[in-house]
Amino acid sequence: MDVNRAKQIYSSDSTIKVHLENGDSVWIEHIDEANGTATVKVEGNPTDTKTVSVDQLQER
């Protein structure tokens, strides 16, 4: 995924499913456009927060 699409998903009023490359479902919490990263929370484990490259995000 690219940074612009990640920003669109983050700003959307709709629920758009996003997964990491490893298959984990995640919620986008923050986009760092300058670094091309996103802070995400793993669905089902709200304490599992990760900062990943937006390249690792996949829309389903």
CATH number at residue 45: 2.30.30
Instruction: Please give the pLDDT value at position 46.
Output: 80
Instruction: Please give the pLDDT value at position 32.
Output: 97
By residue range, what is the domain housing residue 39? Answer: 3-59
- Collapsed DSSP state (helix, strand, coil) of residue 55: helix
Domain count, the chain: 1
Instruction: Please give the pLDDT value at position 60.
Output: 81
pLDDT in tens, 14-53: 989 999 999 999 999 999 999 999 999 999 888 999 999 9
Whole-model pTM: value is 0.87
